[in-house]
Amino acid sequence: MAGIYLDNAATTALDPEVFEAMKPYMLNHFGNPSSIHSHGREVRSAIEKSRRTIAELLNTSPSEIFFTSGGTEADNTALRCSIEQRGITHVITSKIEHHAVLHTLQHLEKTGQIKLDYVPLDDKGVIDLSALKDWLKNHPESLVSLMHGNNEIGNILDIEEVSWICKEHKAIFHSDTVQTMAHYTHDLQEIKAQHIVGAAHKFHGPKGVGFLYINNDHKIHPFIHGGAQERNMRGGTENVYGIVGLAKAMEIAYRDMEEHHNHIQGLKDRMIQKLKVKVEGVAFNGLSEDSDNSLYTVLNVSLPPTNMSDMLLFNLDIKGISASGGSACSSGSDVGSHVIAELGNAAERPNVRFSFSKFNTADDIDKAVAAVAELYEQKTV
C-alpha cells in the first residue's frame, strides 16, 4: 500500500528474511508436530530449535519458554493461573497497563477472586516505586503486574529493580514485555521475574504467535486445556510456521539491535525537533520526549485543540499517514485512551501516537510532520 506507516506499536511489517524462514513450513513441512512419523518429527525439530533460539537470546532454559497465540493469551495465562492456583488474594498493578492485563485483573476482582490495588503515578505516568515497596511490606507474597514499556506513552519501567523489590517481599512478578521484547535485551538471570511475554508481530514477525516465559520455580497448570502440547502447558496444535517466524524475527532483532536502535532513535528525535518548529504549542505525553526513559519506537504527541480535533487521525489518513490515538486493541471505542485520561491531559487536546520501525526513513518523518503542520494551518479554537 502507498502511504507512510507510523503505527508500528500496533503491528510491524513482516521482515522478508522471516518470511523466507517460514515458507518451507507453510508449503512443504506440514506434518503435525505431535505425530511420531517422519513428517511430524521434522516439524517438531523446528519447534524445539526455535525454543532453544529464544531461550538463548533471553539467557534462560528452553524448558521455561511456552508458545502461545500472542501477548494477550500469555498475559491471561500467567495472571489467571498464578492467582487461581496459588491462592493469590492481593494484586497490584497500574491504571495505565495494557488492557490484556488491566481487564483480566479487573474481571478477577469483580468476581471476588482478588483485591486489586493500583500503584500511584505522577502526571507523567511514572510509577512510584517507594509506594510499591510500602504496599508489599503490608501485603507480602502478593502478585505484581507492571509493564516494561508502555505501548501508548512509551514510559520504560526499571524492570530489573522492580523484580528485585518483588523478590525481597516474596511477591510474584509478571511483566508485559510485549513492546520491549526484541527491541531491548532481557537477561532473565538478572531480571527476577516469574513471567514475561512476547508477541512476534511487534518485531517484524508473524501475527498470531507469541510466547510466555514461566520461571522453573513457579510452575502453573494450563490455561487452555486439550492436548498435551507444549509439555502439557497449552492444548492445541502448534502454529509451526508462526513459531519458526517468531524465533527468526527475534534472532534478526538481536543481531541488528544496536543499528536499528540508533536509526529509529534518530527518526524519533527528528520528529520531536521538527514538530516543535512547525506546530506551536505541541507537547509530548508521558516521558515520550525523554530518550533515556522512553521507548525509542514510540512518540506520543499532544497537539493544540483545533476545529478538527475529533477528525485529526482521519485527516492524517487521507494525507497518507497511518498513526493512532492509542492502543490498536481499543480502536473502534469512543471512550478514548485510558492511559491519556489517567495522566489528566485535557480532553480537548488531540493526542497522536507515532511509532517507528527499521523500515521508516527520514523522508517519512518529514512528510508526516508536514502533514500535521498543514492541518494546523487552519485556525485553532
Q: Which positions are annotated as active-site residues?
A: 329
Contacts of 277 (CB under 8 A, 6+ apart): none
Q: Where are the beta strands (DSSP E) in the chain?
A: 4-5, 65-68, 90-93, 115-118, 143-145, 172-175, 195-199, 210-214, 283-284, 298-302, 321-322, 351-355
- CB distance 285 to 301 below 8 Å: yes
From residue 75, alpha-carbon distances to 97, 176, 330 in Å are 11, 7, 17
Q: In terms of DSSP H, where are the helices of 169-256?
A: 229-232, 240-255
User: Residue 352 carries which DSSP code?
Assistant: E
- CB distance 50 to 244 below 8 Å: yes
- CB distance 210 to 246 below 8 Å: yes
Which helix H or strand E contains 98, and what residues bound it?
A: none
**DSSP-based three-state secondary structure for 196:** strand
